[in-house]
């Protein structure tokens, strides 16, 4: 595996980002440690989480993923080897949400405590906050960078207009600039990113760490009929993809997978890795067998013809 630079930062990552949303949700701390050990032992170093993970699980309040990652790094004593990304802005309780300066300065302390670290490599605005001027948000990050609590910043789920405004404000006022962008992007869902963001991120040399890289698991190929929907906690959401276009994509993935003695998940990730504007797609697994798919994807070099097969099957134009 070759390292890739995240935007114009000094952060060097390998081409898969582990998505920490599963920690404290579909897997407990013990299993999370096992997966994190396997991920890093395979040579990867980039973990993405958020303060809100995994508040949606009954009994959780948010922060569970950060706590697990913090406990793991504390046990392994490997903080310096990990590129750690987290996010701020999602609702964390009454009065705890958004990108106002006062809230960010409070939220970062909570994340640092849960993560058992004194700095965050990449701190991201999870969702835009239209009620807060972008200048105020960037000023908060400026303070955190100067204090050494944050190294670099990124944005997630912004509109193209708001992302552009943020980048222009950074340039105009000499404030920290978003160096990464985290959109939803995969073989099934291509149109929004390719139409509205790809040129923008390329022009500004932003690193892209896209989420739902496997369309919540649909692109693994294990959901092909209604009978498959109970295979996991995410199965209920698969109906969105189970249509003519979705099955056409799975057929192409099957075809290309056969050429590489691989599987649909690895090929779907390899297609993303091969796209010039993508730095390190985010993927999650819940067992070590699934982890093999990530390892395979990182070393899988698709040829031009097979990329074209996937492009055509998933074409949105």
DSSP code string of 185-214? --SSS-HHHHHHTHHHHHHTT-EE--B-TT
Token digits for 170?
């950074």
Q: Do the beta carbons of residue 271 and residue 7 sit within 8 Å?
A: no
In this predicted structure, what is the pLDDT of residue 234? 67
In this predicted structure, what is the pLDDT of residue 237? 83
Reported pTM:
0.96
Q: Do the beta carbons of residue 101 and residue 136 sit within 8 Å?
A: yes
Token digits for 62?
């948010």
In this predicted structure, what is the pLDDT of residue 55? 96
Q: Do the beta carbons of residue 188 and residue 314 sit within 8 Å?
A: yes
In this predicted structure, what is the pLDDT of residue 79? 98
In this predicted structure, what is the pLDDT of residue 15? 97
Buried b (16+ CB within 10 A) or exposed e, 226-247: eeeeeebeebeebeebbeeebe
Buried b (16+ CB within 10 A) or exposed e, 195-224: eebbebbeebebbbbbbbbbbbbbbbbebe
Bridge partner list, 17: 282
Which residues of the chain have a pLDDT value below 50?
none
In this predicted structure, what is the pLDDT of residue 230? 76
Q: Do the beta carbons of residue 269 and residue 281 sit within 8 Å?
A: yes
Tell me the C-alpha distance between 49 and 63, whole Å. Answer: 9
Token digits for 97?
């949400």
Exactly one of 14, 53, 185, 211 is catalytic; name it. 53
Q: Burial level of 6, CB count in 10 A (0-12/13-18/19+)? A: buried
Token digits for 225?
């009929």
127 tagged catalytic: no
Residue with tokens 């006022």: 173
């Amino acid at each position: 595996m070759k390292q890739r630079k995240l935007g114009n930062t000094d952060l060097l990552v390998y081409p898969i980002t582990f998505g920490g949303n599963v920690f404290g949700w579909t897997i407990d701390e013990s299993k999370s440690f096992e997966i994190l050990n396997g991920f890093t032992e395979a040579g990867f170093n980039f973990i993405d989480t958020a303060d809100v993970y995994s508040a949606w699980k009954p009994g959780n309040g948010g922060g569970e993923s950060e706590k697990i990652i913090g406990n793991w790094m504390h046990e392994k004593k490997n903080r310096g080897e990990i590129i750690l990304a987290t996010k701020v802005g999602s609702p964390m309780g009454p009065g705890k949400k958004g990108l106002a300066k006062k809230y960010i300065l409070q939220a970062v302390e909570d994340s640092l405590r849960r993560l058992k670290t004194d700095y965050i490599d990449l701190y991201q605005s999870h969702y835009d906050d239209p009620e807060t001027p972008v200048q105020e948000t960037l000023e908060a990050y400026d303070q955190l960078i100067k204090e050494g609590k944050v190294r670099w910043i990124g944005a997630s789920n912004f509109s193209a207009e708001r992302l552009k405004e943020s980048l222009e404000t950074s340039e105009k006022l000499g404030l920290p600039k978003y160096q990464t962008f985290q959109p939803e992007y995969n073989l099934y869902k291509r149109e929004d990113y390719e139409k509205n963001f790809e040129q923008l991120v390329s022009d500004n040399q932003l690193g892209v760490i896209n989420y739902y890289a496997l369309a919540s698991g649909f692109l693994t190929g294990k959901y092909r009929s209604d009978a498959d929907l109970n295979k996991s906690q995410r199965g209920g959401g698969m109906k969105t993809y189970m249509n003519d276009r979705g099955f056409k994509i799975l057929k192409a993935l099957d075809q290309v997978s056969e050429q590489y003695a691989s599987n649909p998940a690895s090929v779907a990730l390899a297609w993303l890795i091969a796209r010039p504007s993508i730095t390190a797609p985010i993927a999650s697994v819940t067992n070590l067998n699934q982890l093999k798919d990530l390892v395979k994807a990182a070393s899988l070099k698709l040829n031009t013809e097979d990329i074209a097969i996937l492009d055509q099957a998933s074409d949105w134009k």
